[in-house]
Structure 1
Amino acid sequence: MRHSAVAALACAAPLSADAASRAFDVVPLGVEGGVVEGSTSAWFIARRGQEQGLACDAGTLVPGIRAAIAKGGFPTGTRPSDVLHRRIGAYLITHPHLDHVAGLVMVSPDDSPKPIFALPDVNAALAADYFNWSAWPNMGDRGRPPLLGRYHYQDLTPGAPPVPVEQSGLTVTAFPLSHSGALSTAFLIRAGEEALLCMGDTGPDAVEHSARLTSLWQAVAPLVRAGHLRAIIIETSYPDPRKDAELFGHLTPSWLKRELARLGDLVGEPAKMAGLPVVIGHIKPSVDGGPQNVEAIKRQLSEGDGPPVRYIIAEQGRSLAF
């Protein structure tokens, strides 16, 4: 079943729900999908009211933190070092592509010790390809010695029971995604019964010849049905039209709607999808700096049929609460 497309579509702004009902604070530190540096994928996520949280991906750190402080995403008087050293207590890395890890690598000599949660193959790539004394000093606790041990690699088993992220009040479960032949990850982050889904790069199942999105939707559909999935953070890299052969493991508005419709079919109750926040990131910017892709994707999401979700175009540094 398909329904009128979008209940609302807006650029990132604090949601109007009563503050007491919110479960998560989210600060987009980086919202773009490569091409230029300074705002590539990274999200600060914390349990509502908790100072320490985690970063889901780390393509941009210090520039994104500075942008968030300037826009009120963190409390007045917060210094970038406060966020980096104390508020970000762990990293969740979806996949080792440069636009998702560059900030982590660059800041590592000045970072505080913390764990990196990822699927085993992702952590193995970080140790082999970045923290290897060739691309960068080995700031981890695996790989080529000497091991500086700034970061502790913590491997996650796909679909396993939630793993606590110490001092954050959050837990995390990892689900694999397909990204043009590469392994990516969706992280289901929980605060008690409430959940938020932070997804790395992914192509649609039909193009990727995969069932990984199907498996993910099956896992989260009961949370949507119960009203416990507070938001989905997901990429939409390119506007339509774009050839399937040139998606390179990404989504467009039409493919995003089709995938969310499949989730809605599994939920089985259209009203449960109504107003579900779907936060859009990883939009590929124009080299010339124009807003064409953002405006096109925003318009295309608002047009036509699709699940009655609430699309939100994320803005670097502009905080959200769910």
Structure 2
Amino acid sequence: MPNEGASRENESLPDGLDMADKAAFQVIVLGPSGGPREDAVTGLLVRSTSSQWSMGSVVAVDAGTLLGGIIRTLEQYIAKSEDGKAIMKGGPFIGLELPHMTAQANAAYIFREVIGAVLITHPHLDHLSGLAINTPLVEAGSGPKTVAALPSVISAIKNHMFNDVIWPNLSDEDGGAGLITYQRLVEGGNPRFGRGEARGYVRACEGLLARCLSISHGRCRQKYHPETGRHHRVGSSVFTGDSLMVPSRAISVDHTESGVYSPIRSPALGVGKDTSFASVESSAFFLRDHNTGSEIIVFGDIEPDSVSLEPRNKHVWEVAAPKVASGCLRAIFIECSYNDDVDDSSLYGHLCPRHLIAELKVLAAKVVDVQNPGHSLKRKREDERISSREPTSGVSPKTTRPQAYVPSKFSKRDDTPSQRSGRSGTGSRVNSTDYSGEIPELVHDEATPSLPDPVDVGDDRSYGGDSLMQSEVLWADSERPPLTGVSVYIIHIKETLSDGPPPGDRILQELRAHGEAAHLGCEFFVPRRGEGIWI
């Protein structure tokens, strides 16, 4: 995580308001990390700039960090005016009228009245714990807080957290206190709502619409059953295994670290389906500004399709591609938990730079298809031709790992803040340390691990195979790369809590190097805790 005590740029009121006038979204990063610190785990606030901080004008996406993050951010910028009232002198909450004097009281007001709903991508504690601890505050508000998620996520929250065992039942179901109300979202969007480009979207808060798509986050032995509304152990009487398969107990003897969530067993790698595991369901939220039609995507924890039991990312990119091509999709918030030193068997349902770039290349190829319909038809025929082939034996469990580019001391990257802010379609950042400026040269010594060597791969078709390579050739010669104008914000970085550079430094360097080599055109940023981002 960047140094939070460093000087910040563009915090003045005039600059902030000018950016707000040009932006469709403001995203406040309450928690950008994936642990192990409990005070900075995943939590974002998102609002439409057209809503002007009205009641119910903000949606929280995940709530590992929520009220605590708001208090911490307010404390840095709250001041007393000449007439004795509290005002915001800067920071991401600039423009918000404060009804109270202290940061704590104003944070409680924001949580009760300004945040209209909480969207939960998946029910792991680092995305949910703040909601549980904070919910009793709702009692003094004007009504229940909406918690919106896929049915499997609501099921986990209801049965395993707000259940009068782990935490009181504060919901309005099963005789609970009624402080929160569950909204079960239709996976892929509800086609009965919305018109045109907004079809399938539902209201998230004042000025924002949302559409939720399912993605995979590793694997476990608990599977959601829609008829019972509960999670059951795979291999139980609810999910009876194939009688011809070896019983799960007989194959669940691998207690090594690599035996948990091990993607080596993935059918995508040609090994066959392991019926003792099920996919962990996570979510990607498309958030749409009702006023401008602009959109962003916020991902929960996500694994690459190449190692997943149930590859689902491809569908998200298919939905996103036309939006990128038309220029309405401005930013993607997505995890990249580890650097490229991690092996596939140790991803545990997460991404690293080589896999994130591979996923973005799939998106880029689909954008090229949208922009070149004739090429799309050619790709479809090629995919059909590839799918009819016999699988190649000896497929490697690794995906392509490009050699990272290390800037020499004689080279200079053309990505200073002033140069970036003038680019069309990229998100401008306010009150932030310039974490995304020129990256220093890595020194290959004991303190800084060397970048990974290229890894040979087999015929991995999880990312599109030969047809994807054809698309890469098509966009490599283009003056405008396919993802130009898209800003990619990296969240859920796993902190090492050790001396030396923050893990985000290494991850950002690898992403930029791989992205440049792939000629994608998008820009990568690692936001810090308490940062406000105008998009």
TM-score if structure 2 supplies the norm length? 0.55
Could you tell me which residue of structure 1 aligns to residue 318 of structure 2? 218
Q: Does 1:187 align with 2:285?
A: yes
SS of 1:316's equivalent in the other structure is: coil
Letter in 1 for 2:333: I
Give the length in aligned residue pairs.
Answer: 309
Query: Would the aligned equivalents of 2:19 and 2:534 in 1 still touch at CA under 8 Å?
Result: no
Name the CA distance, whole Å, in 2 between partners of 1:19 and 1:53: 15
2:93 to 74, 78, 82: 74
- Greater shift in the superposed pair: 261-270 or 96-105: 261-270
Structure 1 unaligned segments of length 5 or more: list them. 1-11
Query: Would the aligned equivalents of 1:67 and 1:316 in 2 still touch at CA under 8 Å?
Result: no
Cα displacement (A) at 1:20: 3.4
Name the CA distance, whole Å, in 2 between partners of 1:172 and 1:62: 23
Q: Does 1:129 align with 2:135?
A: no
Q: Which has the larger radius of gyration?
A: 2
Could you tell me which residue of structure 2 aligns to residue 85 of structure 1? 112
Query: Would the aligned equivalents of 1:13 and 1:320 in 2 still touch at CA under 8 Å?
Result: no
Query: Would the aligned equivalents of 2:60 and 2:115 in 1 still touch at CA under 8 Å?
Result: yes
SS of 1:105's equivalent in the other structure is: helix
Query: Would the aligned equivalents of 1:199 and 1:233 in 2 still touch at CA under 8 Å?
Result: yes
Could you tell me which residue of structure 2 aligns to residue 99 of structure 1? 126
Cα displacement (A) at 1:302: 2.1
Deviations 1:142-194 (A, max 9, x none): 3xx4311111100011112111124x111111100100121000011111321
Could you tell me which residue of structure 2 aligns to residue 310 of structure 1? 523
Letter in 1 for 2:180: Y
Name the CA distance, whole Å, in 2 between partners of 1:285 and 1:295: 11
Q: Does 1:296 align with 2:506?
A: yes
Mapping 1:26-175, distance limit 5 Å: 26-50=27-51, 51=53, 52-69=57-74, 70=76, 72-75=91-94, 78=98, 79-111=106-138, 112=141, 113-142=144-173, 145-160=174-189, 161-166=200-205, 168-175=206-213
Relative CO higher for 1 or 2, CA cutoff 8 Å, sep ≥ 6? 1
Give the share of equivalent positions with the same residue, in percent. Answer: 33
Deviations 1:1-55 (A, max 9, x none): xxxxxxxxxxx97799954331101000101102111010010000014212100
Could you tell me which residue of structure 1 aligns to residue 483 of structure 2? 273
Name the CA distance, whole Å, in 1 between partners of 2:145 and 2:351: 32
Letter in 2 for 1:68: T
SS of 2:128's equivalent in the other structure is: helix
Name the CA distance, whole Å, in 1 between partners of 2:160 and 2:214: 20
Name the CA distance, whole Å, in 2 between partners of 1:172 and 1:250: 24
SS of 1:172's equivalent in the other structure is: strand
Query: Would the aligned equivalents of 1:285 and 1:291 in 2 still touch at CA under 8 Å?
Result: no
Could you tell me which residue of structure 2 aligns to residue 198 of structure 1? 298
Name the CA distance, whole Å, in 2 between partners of 1:13 and 1:53: 24
SS of 1:32's equivalent in the other structure is: coil
Could you tell me which residue of structure 1 aligns to residue 534 of structure 2? 321
TM-score if structure 1 supplies the norm length? 0.90
Deviations 1:95-143 (A, max 9, x none): 000000010011111134211110000001000010001100111123x
Query: Would the aligned equivalents of 1:39 and 1:63 in 2 still touch at CA under 8 Å?
Result: no
Cα displacement (A) at 1:286: 1.4
Name the CA distance, whole Å, in 2 between partners of 1:274 and 1:19: 22
- Greater shift in the superposed pair: 58-67 or 215-224: 58-67
Q: Does 1:242 align with 2:342?
A: yes
Query: Would the aligned equivalents of 1:186 and 1:200 in 2 still touch at CA under 8 Å?
Result: yes
Structure 2 unaligned segments of length 5 or more: list them. 1-7, 78-90, 99-105, 190-199, 220-279, 372-474
- Greater shift in the superposed pair: 86-95 or 285-294: 285-294
SS of 2:324's equivalent in the other structure is: helix
Letter in 1 for 2:122: H
Name the CA distance, whole Å, in 1 between partners of 2:286 and 2:216: 16
Q: CA RMSD in A?
A: 2.2
Structure 1 residues 47 and 240 mapped into 2: Cα distance closer, same or farther (>3 Å)?
Answer: same
Name the CA distance, whole Å, in 1 between partners of 2:331 and 2:123: 24
- Greater shift in the superposed pair: 168-177 or 304-313: 304-313
